[in-house]
Amino acid sequence: MNLKFVSKSVDDTLRVAENIESEKFSNMVICLNGELGSGKTIFVKGFANALGIDENITSPTFNIIKEYPNGELPLYHMDVYRLDEVGDNIGIKDYYNKGGVTIIEWADLIKEELPDERLEITFKIVDEDSRILIFNPIGKIYEDLCESVL
């Protein structure tokens, strides 16, 4: 079950992230994929803002994981683009059950580390302003979420 959303602006991307956030739940995992500049971090900014996080959200490319504990739920923002090798030594899987929301940029690079149930969103650049977001909910709870907000 893939669902498409056409974003014609940054505001559209922020708005869809806010809509997804409105259906948030503890231990939610969202996996973002797409080329550089496609809107992944913009999505995270919208989600974080809707959670009530007022910190400036930037891509954690060099940190790998940034934690934002001060929202309605904790937000764990990961960017695994620079990982050469994933192992238990950095504890990515530990975040899936910490009671917050985990959002992973470049998640397709660590497929073997992802939970069985998750929401995958692929961002495709159409032009300077427009993007196509393809939602692939894996698991009933994510299917229900997508049906509610898309």
Query: What is the extent of the structural domain holding 54?
Result: 3-149
Report which DSSP code applies to 12. H
CATH at residue 27? 3.40.50.300
Report which DSSP code applies to 109. G
pLDDT band at residue 107, thresholds of 50, 70 and 90?
Answer: very high
Decide if pLDDT at 133 tops 70: yes
**How many structural domains are present in the chain?**
1
Residue count (the chain): 150
Question: Does residue 61 or residue 96 have the better pLDDT?
Answer: 96
For the stretch 40-72, pLDDT in tens is 999 999 999 999 999 999 887 677 899 999 999
